[in-house]
A and B are shown apart, each in its own frame.
Chain A
Amino acid sequence: MKITREEVAHVARLAMLEISEQEIVQYTEQLNAILEYADKLKELETENVVPMAHVLPLHNVFREDEELPCLSREAALANAPAEEDGMFRVPRVIE
């Protein structure tokens, strides 16, 4: 299964990365090398194998519905690159 340059460009859009033409070429090559290696998995018969999303057999881990103190607004915004009126500022979102 080969990944094309168009697919690489599409994946970059999904991943919200800006990549140059040169990088597209480079990524296409590198991702193909890795994916070619990953093709090894095709050898495996996995039809009736349960996929393992978790290694531990844990289930039903809950917290009780209790309120705990929040961050102060100052602490919440302390790392913000841009803020205004106690909110996080971003370039205008057009809907």
Chain B
Amino acid sequence: MSSYETVIGLEVHVELATKSKIFCSCPTAFGKGANTQVCPVCLGFPGTLPVLNRRAVEYALKAALALNCRIPSFAKFDRKNYFYPDLPKAYQISQYDLPLAVEGYLEIGMEGKVKRIGITRVHLEEDAGKLIHSGYGDYSLADYNRTGVPLLEIVSEPDLRSPEEAKVYLEKLRSIIQYSGVSDVKMEEGSLRCDANISLRPAGSSAFGVRTEIKNMNSFKAVQRGLEYEVQRQGAALDAGRQVIQETRRWDEDRELTFPMRSKEEAHDYRYFPDPDLVPVIIDIDWVEAIRRSLPEMPDERRRRYVAELGLSEYDAAVLTASPSLADFFEAAAAACQEVKAAANWLMGDITRHLKAMGLEIRETKLTPSHLAELLKLQNEGTISGALAKTVLDEIFATGKRPGEIVSEKGLFQISDKAALGAIVDQIIAENPKSVDDYRGGKEKALGFLVGQVMRQSKGKANPELVNTLLRDRLG
């Protein structure tokens, strides 16, 4: 493949976490029975009218400010007209030429350098319904519970230069949205969706190549893999002297390829025009500033603070600040036990492994910061060993009990009693003459084996340092 530069822009849709829909009072809760969260307005019944949800606007502005956008003083809503059975009015209320926010950016770290990715615009619109395609019959079924759920569309500049960058951008975007508190941004539940525009151009060229739009990339991994596939596909076409066709393609997760989508019936001409049922939104400086003040500390600021004030490495600080719930947890635990490094290591290690395995956010588990603080204290005081601490952690996730309680209930105290440990050490020495000989013959490794045997014999309760000392004393 010749040398091409990849150019990617992302269009991300985020479901805002309002209680009610954007233009009517139906609830937005996920996973309810089909067509139980609908009313004449979101079903597009004749004569019904939309009224804008104030909180949807405020959430949109909050996210936009977190993305460093400029908020123009005048915004309006437009109708995007097209026929599709998931769209009851046959138009989507969206924003065309005067969106709520423009000209923002976010920063991503790539290969140790900070790169700024431009955000073209941020606008509000309504979600469509869901179509279920029957497996055998020749029909589809429509559920309009999602119709009218507020969506934020965030359009990036074509500033991304690789699928990897696109993934990092998306992770950073999710982090910022999470921090601003306006959405759950769960990609797997569809509250964050991503479409991409991607093209290749000869390295060094400044003109854009022909782009394709890629849809249906439903996870961070899918975004990266779908775009990687598309880079290969377009590159191969260009190498072979063929042209890339401007089209919309769908990422097929199972087959790991993109394929052209059948167009939504004929010509696309959305015939945007101002929605006469809605009045403009005028946003004055006071409103913008009030919303700006309501924003919490953003991930970049927090990361810098962790490095400067807590002495964490850039890497650790970045990992811990990626999600606000993790960072909040970390700060609370660290404050409670004064063990900054240990708290960070636990969170990035064992706890993150647990969360991944359970598919949960830290705030959704039974583990609290004071649990972690207590656990670290027990370990620090020598009441339990590191190995035991892991057992206690498992137990906390399972039951939510206090670490101290678990330790006493299960008798998980570390054995630091010389006499008790000495007996076990003697037994192990007696049972492993070969290792004893090896150690005495200068093989330092053999000591490790013996320590392990003692630990096993004590069911992990033995104080490892003490075991070490006792063994050396006796063999020395």
Contacts and interface: CB of A to CB of B under 8 A. Distances in A.
B276 interface: yes
B358 interface: no
Contact of A13 (B37, B52, B262, B267): B267
Interface residues of B, number: 53
Contact of A90 (B26, B56, B139, B281): B139
A52 to B, nearest CB: 10
A42 to B, nearest CB: 20
A76 interface: yes
Contact of B40 (A54, A71, A87, A92): A71
Contacts of B142: 87-90
Given A62-B53, A93-B133, A67 B27 contact: yes
A59 B282 contact: yes
A70 B37 contact: yes
A62 B52 contact: yes
Interface in A66-95: 66-68, 70-71, 73, 76-77, 84-95
A38 interface: no
B35 A76 contact: yes
A60 interface: yes
B19 interface: yes
Contacts, number: 127
B26 A95 contact: no
B267 A53 contact: no
Main secondary structure of the interface of A (DSSP, over half): loop
Contacts of A86: 33-36, 143
Contacts of B20: 65-68
Contacts of A84: 139, 141
Nearest to A56: B279
Contacts of A90: 85, 139-142
Given A92-B134, A93-B131, 19 more contacts: A14-B269, A59-B279, A60-B279, A60-B281, A62-B53, A63-B52, A65-B56, A67-B25, A68-B26, A71-B43, A73-B34, A73-B36, A76-B38, A87-B35, A87-B132, A87-B143, A89-B140, A90-B141, A93-B133
Interface of A: 10, 13-14, 16, 53-54, 56, 58-68, 70-71, 73, 76-77, 84-95
12 contacts: A10-B267, A56-B279, A59-B279, A63-B52, A63-B53, A66-B25, A71-B39, A76-B144, A87-B35, A88-B141, A88-B144, A90-B85
